[in-house]
Amino acid sequence: MSVRVAVVQMGAVGSKEENLARARSLLDSLAESKPGPDFVCLPEMFSYLPDPEDDFEAIDRIAEEAAGPTAQMFSDYARRLKCHLIGGSFIEKRAGRHYNTSLLFGPEGDLLAQYSKTHLFDTPDFRESDFVEPGDHITVVQTDHCRIGLIICYDIRFPELLRTLTLKGAELIFCPAAFPVAGASPGYDHWQILTRAAALQNMVYLVAVNQLGIKSPLTFFGRSVVVDPWGIEIAVAPNQEGFTSAELDLDYLREMRRQRSPLDHRRPELYDL
């Protein structure tokens, strides 16, 4: 069985209204492409990247509930594209708090799952915890094609999370991201190492969709990528807005796991995590 994934790479460097319009334009273009995708994913914080000076009230004006207009937009596009759509992530308003949340919609436009980022990016350059709170659960969901897991950006630096998703059956993991060059970080080098290692160590397909552009104090370099279970990049987006597609062979993944998966050689009785 093969499935087709499409990554929608864009930069949320303008206002929320401008970013939403750009996302709709890219999804409209994707709707005209053939063959159509089975899965589509956008970047983290696709509709608005917080400014360092934003306070709670400013974020609250931007934030939406999980059943708000952004969710409705994604529901409509999932139904139009007849695909599973991972809406990157947005600032969710829930019980008076804010979260960095990703929503997964099915081909009928129904909400199948949601995930709020559990590891927040706090560095000298940018403190994500100034704007949102961490989520408190992981997300693995069965789709018509395979079992998928959701993470968001900085989560990829925590191998315990990726391994937990894998042990819960994930064969395909989506990682919407706003992965920057920040301070002393070499940016793209880390991005390439982390995405390839996550796929290889867990023998999963990994789809990582990055932001593009400059939103002070951070620079985002794009290079959205699809990685196979051997850690091989099978599709890399160019340094521009647009969408990039790839075919994933799930039979190949399952056969490779059957033949030589390190998951079969784990020694959990020795691990102290």
CA distance 258 to 260: 6
CA distance 29 to 121: 32
CA distance 227 to 240: 19
Determine the 3-state secondary structure of 23 from DSSP: helix
Query: Cα separations (Å) of 123 from 148, 165, 169, 218, 226?
Result: 30, 26, 32, 12, 27
Q: Catalytic residue among 117, 146, 175, 215, which? A: 117
| Helix residue ranges, H only, the chain | 16-31, 56-62, 69-81, 159-167, 188-202, 250-260
Cα 76–chain centre separation: 19
Tokens, residue 30: 């994707």
Note if 41 is an active site residue.
no
23 half-sphere exposure, CB direction, 13 A CA radius: 32
Note if 117 is an active site residue.
yes
Note if 83 is an active site residue.
no
Residue 268's CB is within 10 A of a number of other CB atoms, namely 7
Tokens, residue 218: 């951070």
Decide: 124 and 68 in contact? Cβ < 8 Å. no
Q: Catalytic residue among 41, 146, 153, 175, which? A: 153
Tokens, residue 185: 């970080």
34 half-sphere exposure, CB direction, 13 A CA radius: 0
Instruction: Please identify every residue annotated as catalytic.
Output: 44, 117, 153
